[in-house]
DNA sequence: GATGAATGAGTTTTCATTCAT
DNA sequence: CATGAATGAAAACTCATTCAT
């Protein structure tokens, strides 16, 4: 909405020179295309039209560059839009499950995945190999987002809308189907929004029915 | 059940010397731990207690070794046990959806994922970067498995057991939740089978309800 | 005695801005700690709280900075206090050897080594690799100090106080034991002046006896 | 005497290929000429007529190469010939001080410094900057050689041959003048053995007189 | 004068692959 | 078949120096 060109928000970062921004932008491209380990810093420099040494003035190692790309996405994945949703549900006891799930999914998709598709891809690919990133995600996402979602699930179970099962199990199903929606986006060519809208509806419908008591 | 030591079936391969087997076994370990691109062939040689050059007598390049690891899993993912299931359904029109989904999931889990966990992990990580593997998966899995599954889905829709939606959409939901089950296994510590059994039941239940008309 | 804070006399240099002084001071630290070749100019800038480029406004190269540090010490090592001593001996034929050696050692120690310990250390470490510095030392020290000392030794030999041997050999023994005194100061912890005083006496005694006829 | 070509005993090392030996030999040259930090591994490779990567197959880092050069010298500096000397003195209470000092100096010179001049030079230059080497020298030399020498000094003091002073002070004078002898060898061109023989005699004479009661 | 971003040549190190033994 | 020393191309990173602001 604010940003009409859905792009990885390299532009967000403050106090970066043009060249530094170009480096981030290039790294985003190459890391997501070829993977972190397969990418040479010389390639990044080439694409950013920058001397190779320039990269290392700002980021001391190649890995620092990776983390600089991935950290803002992790933060955005969780923090800003989240509060409203769950609080909305918390305050409005009537908010029904489909609305909750749809707004949860849609916000993540619109604010994170559509804007930072390359960074999300890098995150998914590299998280298995970088303890620092795992930690970051755990600290940020797990300790912030997860408790709130578990609470919400608990409330829906109390209201008889979600079937009896460990709340963690329900959360897993919720998350997996969200991830599946995204991943299918990677495989399918990035065509019309219509499709994605329909896909969103269908997935929400599926999840709500699947969880129902 | 059949195989008491659930291990990646390096042993299955015929006509391999001890050293070759050791190399495959070591590569399986290291590739799955550190990723293909991050793994040095010298490390594989070290773990296999083999000279560095020995690897290249059997596999001309490092990539050949990767493909040698991943190919059998792709084949096993699809071919042998599959036929019965879907044919069973095909012949027995009464076979209900829960039974179908459960047997589908369970077979995959037991015959592929439990036996070849490292190879599956490598496959998931590397498929994005290796056209050869993508092609292999497409040729084998997609052209074999997918049509059968789409047929089955179509039959269930005709019988009113699965809601109206593109069969591909239903397939995606089916697959994503299967994958989600596995992935959660990677994160959670590999504890008791009971849990996994319960998880399987729950997932099957969820999927069946979610797909229901 | 004259200078209560025994420090490398960066402060002596005239016409230097605060920043320039800070740079010299920082370079003195780092060069003596890590050696010239191992020291990055950026590290000097950091320690001097100065921009990286600032160093090169005053000294065109890193090597110029080294020479700027080392030159004054070389000059002080020789010129100012020396005249009196040897001239005293020259005029006062009665001056005995112990007094001569003691005053020679003490002056060097007090006026050079105590005040410029880091610069002396740098000089010792780097002289082997920089022809410019060797030349400087030869021009200044060798051509000034050495002839005077050889003369004095000759006089003591004529007076029968120093044994027959080439004057250069006697000079070497004199210098080596002076250097040894200093070097042992580097190894031992820098404790009380008393010790050093005793060490001085002992070394003088040793040298005088050793040289005696 | 035993070894007609006084060379750094790279040849001593067992189980090294020709190329590995060439690398050590080249490193010995370049390190001693230009200093460790100023030497590029590419230069070593060039002089050894070897690919740069070859260096790192045997020594994991440039520093490992340095230590490989310096370690044997440290060991030889202390261990093998030492026993006889001091034990000779221990058993033969009549052994006079000049004989002891001369044999001590001569053995070190002949077995270490003449054979490993470049390695000794490297050792002297680099020891200040490498804790590993300091430790090695402390462990080997200090804990082995020093106590024995202090004992010997004590005995000579008891016999009234060495003046009263802390035994450590006498040791320092002994060592410093030994080192001075060597160092002067570095400055003077390496000419005839005769000179060095005379120099040795003179230094021994000087030290013995200097230490005398 | 001062700054610090930028450079690019150079440095150490890695590693898949080859090949003589 | 197996070995492991050797290669060389490429990788990540360093750093003295320049120059626009």
| Strongest mean pLDDT among A114-123, D12-21, D163-172 | D163-172
Is it true that domain D64-211 has CATH number 3.30.70.3270?
Answer: no
D9 has a pLDDT exceeding 70: no
Quick check: D2 pLDDT over 50?
Answer: no
- pTM of the predicted model as reported, rounded to 2 decimal places: 0.85
Q: What's the average model confidence in pLDDT over C46-70?
A: 96
The residue behind tokens 């074999």 is B144
The ranges assigned to domains in chain C are: 61-211
Which CATH code, of 3.30.565.10, 1.10.357.10, 3.40.50.2000, 3.30.830.10, is assigned to C61-211? 1.10.357.10
Q: Which of C165, C210, C213 should be substituted to probe chain D, the one whose Cβ sees the most D Cβ atoms within 10 Å?
A: C210
B173 chain-A contacts, CB cut-off 8 A: 177, 180, 203, 206
Chains B and D touch (3+ CB pairs under 8 A): no
Whether the beta carbon of C35 falls within 7 A of nucleic chain F: the reply is: no
Q: Do A209 and B207 touch (CB under 8 A)?
A: no
User: What b/e sequence results for C108-130 when a residue is b if at least 16 CB atoms lie within 10 Å of its CB, and e otherwise?
Assistant: bbebbbbbbbbbbbbbebbebbb
**In this structure, is the CB of residue A14 within 7 Å of any atom belonging to strand F?**
no
* Residue B63, pLDDT score: 97
Alpha carbons C182 and C109: distance in angstroms, whole number: 8
User: Which residue matches tokens 């972190």?
Assistant: A36
What is the CATH class of A69-211? Answer: mainly alpha
Nearest to D180 among C38, C129, C176 (CB): C176
Which chains border A (3 or more CB–CB pairs < 8 Å)? B
Contacts of B115 (CB under 8 A, 6+ apart): B3, B6, B7, B8, B9
Per-residue confidence band for B114, with pLDDT thresholds at 50, 70 and 90: confident
Query: What's the confidence (pLDDT) of residue A108?
Result: 79
Query: In angstroms, rounded to a whole number, what is the distance separating the alpha carbons of residues B45 and B59?
Result: 13
* Interchain proximity B176–A183, CB inside 8 Å: yes
Q: Are C58 and C20 in contact (CB under 8 A)?
A: yes
Whether the CB of A172 is less than 7 Å away from nucleic strand F comes out as no
Tell me how far CA of residue A8 lies from CA of A33, A56, A65, C192, D24, in angstroms: 14, 22, 15, 65, 52
pLDDT above 50: residue D124: yes
Nucleotide nearest to C57 (CA to C1'): E1
Q: How far is D15 from chain C (nearest CA, A)?
A: 33
Q: Chain A closest CA to B155's CA: distance in Å?
A: 19
Please list every residue in chain B whose beta carbon sits closer than 8 Å to the beta carbon of residue A202.
165, 169
Supply φ then ψ for residue A212, to 5 degrees: -60, 155
Q: Do the chains contact at B169 and A202, CB–CB below 8 Å?
A: yes
User: Which pLDDT value is given to residue C13?
Assistant: 61
- Within 10 Å of residue A58's Cβ, how many Cβ atoms? 15
- Residue A110 token pair: 């619109």
Could you give the CA distance from residue D213 to residue D160 in angstroms, rounded to a whole number?
7
Considering only residues B90 and B145, tell me which one the structure prediction assigns the higher pLDDT. Answer: B145
pLDDT tens-digit readout, A133-179: 999 988 887 777 788 889 889 989 998 999 999 999 999 999 999 98
Q: Is the CB of B54 under 7 A from strand F?
A: yes
CA–CA dist A203, B144 (Å, integer): 26
Tell me the CA–C1' distance in angstroms for D55 and E5: 36
pLDDT at residue D85 is higher than 80: no
Pick out residues 54-83 of chain A having their CB under 7 A from any atom of nucleic acid strand F.
56-57, 60-63
Q: Which CATH class is domain B66-211?
A: mainly alpha
Please tell me the predicted confidence (pLDDT) of residue B77: 74
D174 φ, ψ (degrees, to nearest 5): -60, -45
Which of the pair, B117 or C57, is modelled with greater confidence?
C57
Poorest-confidence range of B112-126, D117-131, D140-154? D140-154
Task: List pLDDT tens digits, range C135-184.
Answer: 998 887 777 778 888 988 999 999 899 999 999 999 999 999 998 987 77
Nearest CB among A35, A38, A206 relative to B210 is that of A206
Q: Tell me which chains share at least 3 CB pairs under 8 Å with chain D.
A: C
Check whether A132 has a pLDDT greater than 90.
yes
Residue D177 belongs to what H/E stretch? helix D167-187
B207 touching chain A per CB within 8 A: yes
pLDDT band at A183 (very low <50, low <70, confident <90, very high): confident
Kindly state the average pLDDT of the residues C90-104: 74
Q: Does residue B67 have a pLDDT over 90?
A: yes
Counting one residue from chain C and one from chain D, the pairs whose CB atoms sit within 8 A come to: 67
Closest C-alpha among B206, B150, B145, B147 to residue B178 = B206
Nucleotide E10, nearest residue via CA and C1': D40
pLDDT 10s digits, B184-197: 766 554 444 447 78
Region B111-120 average pLDDT: 85
Chains C and B touch, using 3 or more CB pairs below 8 Å:
no
What are the two backbone dihedrals, phi and then psi, of residue A190, each rounded to the nearest 5 degrees?
Answer: -75, 75
CA nearest to C82, candidates C56, C111, C55: C111
Burial of A25-57, coded b for 16+ CB within 10 Å and e otherwise, reads bbbbbbbbeebbbebebebbbeebebeeebbee
Q: Search chain A and give the residue with CA nearest B35.
A: A129
Residue in D206, D207, D213, D208 with CA at minimum distance from that of residue D163: D213
Mean pLDDT of A39-65: 97
pLDDT of residue A1: 37
What percentage of chain D exceeds 90 in pLDDT?
A: 51
Test C177 with D172 for CB contact under 8 angstroms. no
Angle between helices C117-126 and C18-34 (to 10 degrees): 60
Best of B62, B63, B137, B172 to substitute, by most chain A Cβ atoms within 10 angstroms, is B172
Residue with the larger pLDDT of the pair A64 and B90: A64
SS3 helix, strand, coil % of chain A, rounded to 5?
Answer: 75, 0, 25
CA C151 to centroid of chain Cα atoms = 21
pLDDT band for C12, please (50, 70, 90 cuts).
low
């Amino acid at each position: 909405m604010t940003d009409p060109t859905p792009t990885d928000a390299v532009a967000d970062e403050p106090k970066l020179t043009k060249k530094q921004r170009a480096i981030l932008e290039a790294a985003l491209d190459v890391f997501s295309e070829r993977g972190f380990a397969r990418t040479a810093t010389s390639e990044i420099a080439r694409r950013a039209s920058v001397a190779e040494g320039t990269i290392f003035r700002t980021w001391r190692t190649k890995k620092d560059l990776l983390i600089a790309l991935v950290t803002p996405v992790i933060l955005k994945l969780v923090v800003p839009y989240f509060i409203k949703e769950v609080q909305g549900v918390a305050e409005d006891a009537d908010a029904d499950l489909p609305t909750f799930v749809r707004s949860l999914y849609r916000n993540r998709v619109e604010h994170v995945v559509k804007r930072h598709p390359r960074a999300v891809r890098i995150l998914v690919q590299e998280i298995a190999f970088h303890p620092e990133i795992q930690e970051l995600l755990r600290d940020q996402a797990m300790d912030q987002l997860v408790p709130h979602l578990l609470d919400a699930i608990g409330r829906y179970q109390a209201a008889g809308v979600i079937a009896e099962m460990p709340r963690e199990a329900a959360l897993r199903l919720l998350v997996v189907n969200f991830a599946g929606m995204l991943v299918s986006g990677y495989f399918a060519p990035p065509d019309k929004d219509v499709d994605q809208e329909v896909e969103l509806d269908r997935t929400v419908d599926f999840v709500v029915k699947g969880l129902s008591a």
